[in-house]
């Protein structure tokens, strides 16, 4: 553990305690298959929040929560004029979630607070751990709701008015579990934000890397495509006189595949939803509706992919006598994380000699919104088979500990370099 140029000294996290915290909190909402069902603002969520308060207070932290229920556990720094360097993620889960998504980031941050507390290590900035409310978005859509309010992407009023499938308002559920705080969400200066998370993809495991140095989050665009041809009798309509919407669609699906492959390995393209009408075995299909999902770490590449798709569609339309409309329904630009924070993570991984590689997140996280308001980055660790949002989700104790160690040293590095 030597060789780290002074920053962090020999302070490391207690990996066994971190693992036992993961198992202990997994009881709140435990499912028979070994996963967790801990939907936001439910009784199980209240239980894990109460545990978070007790445990952080026992480490000498002051725990507060804001008007969206986001929890903040603060360990004071030596310079009271500085805003906190923050770490965080979420303790809510999907309805059939695992023990690691989000949880590793919060409990890994807790392991950092514990390491600082037990070693008596002082920092200039306060160090703060955040548990974000409703990251998953499965009870109240959309996802990352409260970090979104914190960053000014959504207004608090619209967020509080969201309802779940039973018609329960977000605000009522928040008040109901006792976590609607007085501090207005977002009125909370921060100096930086670090989020530790499982990769939720297969790359680190396949390449036997322990740490993913996350440089950003890929951009994403969703389209809805309607192809209109002409219904016809499957026996009586000669091939030359057909306007077969499904055959045209097949060419477009193939185009999505080849366009994404042309921009490999960064780009991905998917047609995941398709409705064929009238969907009858002896009728030439007259209309098809389908979705297209294009993603790449670079927004300019997505624009080029869209152009290629549109020009293929124009060609298919004119060759096949089809009418094709393409509507952009969602545009989520790529996020590039802060170079100083990324460098802090890279140096931290090197200091432990953990095998590491740069990686771009394929999924959204609270860090996406935090990147809009403060220097931000993420640390990934492998998860088995890339499986997530699933009760089978699994990670190795050693990797979880490594991730928390990198978080610890990255935070200490940022404490020295940031103001």
393 binds Zn ion, rule: CB under 5 A: no
Q: Which is it for the CA torsion 340, 336, 407, 42, positive or negative? A: positive
Which residues, including other chains, have CB under 8 Å from residue 416's CB and lie 6 or more apart? 7, 124
Between 101 and 156, name the residue whose CB sits nearer to Zn ion: 101
- Nearest distance, CB of residue 102 and Zn ion, angstroms: 4
Give the binding-site size for Zn ion (rule: CB under 5 A). Answer: 2
Alpha helices in 79-207 (DSSP H): 103-119, 145-150, 156-160, 170-176, 203-206
d(CA 106, CA 112): 10
C-alpha to C-alpha distances, 159 to 125, 143, 231, 363, 408, nearest whole angstrom: 31, 11, 45, 22, 32
Between 101 and 393, name the residue whose CB sits nearer to Zn ion: 101
- Nearest distance, CB of residue 389 and Zn ion, angstroms: 9
Which one of 20-28, 95-103, 249-257, 391-399 is the stretch in contact with Zn ion (CB under 5 A)?
95-103
- Element containing residue 324 per DSSP (H, E): strand 323-332
Query: Measured in Å, how far apart are the chain's first and last C-alpha atoms?
Result: 27
**Nearest residue to Zn ion, using CB?**
102
Which one of 9-17, 36-44, 96-104, 302-310 is the stretch in contact with Zn ion (CB under 5 A)?
96-104
Between 102 and 212, name the residue whose CB sits nearer to Zn ion: 102
Give CA 48 to chain center in angstroms.
20
The answer to whether 91 and 45 are in contact (CB under 8 A) is: yes
- Nearest distance, CB of residue 92 and Zn ion, angstroms: 9
Structure tokens at 311: 């020009």
- Nearest distance, CB of residue 299 and Zn ion, angstroms: 23
- Nearest distance, CB of residue 87 and Zn ion, angstroms: 14
Which one of 31-39, 99-107, 247-255, 307-315 is the stretch in contact with Zn ion (CB under 5 A)?
99-107
35 binds Zn ion, rule: CB under 5 A: no
101 binds Zn ion, rule: CB under 5 A: yes
d(CA 186, CA 199): 27
Between 196 and 349, name the residue whose CB sits nearer to Zn ion: 196
399 binds Zn ion, rule: CB under 5 A: no
- Nearest distance, CB of residue 384 and Zn ion, angstroms: 16
- Nearest distance, CB of residue 143 and Zn ion, angstroms: 9
Contact pattern for Zn ion over residues 173 through 212, marking x by CB under 5 A: ----------------------------------------
At residue 287, the 3 state secondary structure works out as strand
Tell me 169's DSSP state.
Answer: B
CA dihedral 191, 370, 15, 356 (to 10 degrees): -100
Strand partners, 225: 290, 326
366 binds Zn ion, rule: CB under 5 A: no
Which one of 74-82, 94-102, 328-336, 342-350 is the stretch in contact with Zn ion (CB under 5 A)?
94-102
102 binds Zn ion, rule: CB under 5 A: yes
- Nearest distance, CB of residue 283 and Zn ion, angstroms: 45
Binding site for Zn ion (CB under 5 A): 101-102
């Amino acid at each position: 553990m030597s060789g780290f140029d002074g920053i962090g000294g020999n302070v490391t996290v207690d990996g066994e305690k971190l693992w036992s915290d993961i198992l202990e909190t997994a009881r709140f909402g435990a499912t028979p298959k070994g996963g967790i069902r801990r939907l936001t603002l439910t009784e199980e969520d209240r239980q894990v929040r109460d545990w978070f308060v007790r445990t952080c207070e026992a480490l000498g932290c002051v725990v507060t929560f804001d008007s969206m229920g986001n929890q903040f556990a603060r360990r004071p720094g030596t310079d009271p004029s500085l805003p906190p360097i923050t770490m965080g993620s979420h303790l809510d889960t999907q309805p059939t979630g695992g023990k690691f998504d989000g949880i590793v980031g919060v409990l890994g941050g807790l392991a950092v607070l514990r390491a600082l507390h037990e070693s008596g290590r002082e920092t200039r900035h306060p160090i703060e751990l955040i548990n974000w409310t409703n990251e998953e978005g499965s009870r109240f859509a959309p996802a990352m709701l409260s970090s979104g309010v914190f960053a000014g992407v959504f207004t608090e009023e619209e967020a509080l008015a969201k309802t779940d499938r039973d018609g329960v308002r977000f605000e009522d559920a928040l008040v109901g579990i006792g976590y609607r705080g007085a501090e207005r969400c977002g009125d909370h200066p921060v100096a930086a934000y670090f989020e530790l998370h499982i990769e939720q993809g297969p790359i680190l495991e396949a390449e036997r890397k322990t740490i993913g140095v996350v440089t950003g989050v890929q951009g994403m665009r969703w389209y809805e495509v309607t192809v209109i041809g002409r219904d016809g009798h499957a026996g009586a309509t000669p091939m030359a006189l057909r306007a077969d919407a499904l055959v045209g669609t097949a060419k477009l699906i193939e185009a999505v595949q080849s366009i994404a492959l042309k921009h490999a390995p960064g780009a991905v393209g998917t047609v995941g939803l398709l409705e064929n009408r009238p969907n009858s075995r002896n009728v030439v299909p007259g209309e098809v509706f389908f979705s297209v999902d294009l993603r790449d770490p670079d927004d300019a590449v997505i624009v080029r992919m869209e152009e290629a798709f549109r020009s293929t569609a124009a060609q298919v339309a004119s060759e096949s006598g089809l009418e094709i409309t393409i509507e952009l329904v969602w545009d989520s630009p790529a996020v590039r994380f802060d170079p100083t924070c990324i460098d802090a993570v890279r140096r931290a991984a090197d200091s432990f000699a953990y095998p590491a590689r740069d990686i771009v997140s394929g999924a959204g996280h609270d860090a996406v919104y935090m990147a809009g308001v403060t220097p931000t980055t993420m640390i990934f660790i492998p998860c088995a088979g890339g499986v997530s949002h699933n009760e089978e989700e699994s990670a190795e104790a050693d990797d979880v500990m490594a991730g928390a160690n990198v978080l610890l040293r990255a935070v200490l590095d940022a404490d020295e370099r940031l103001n």
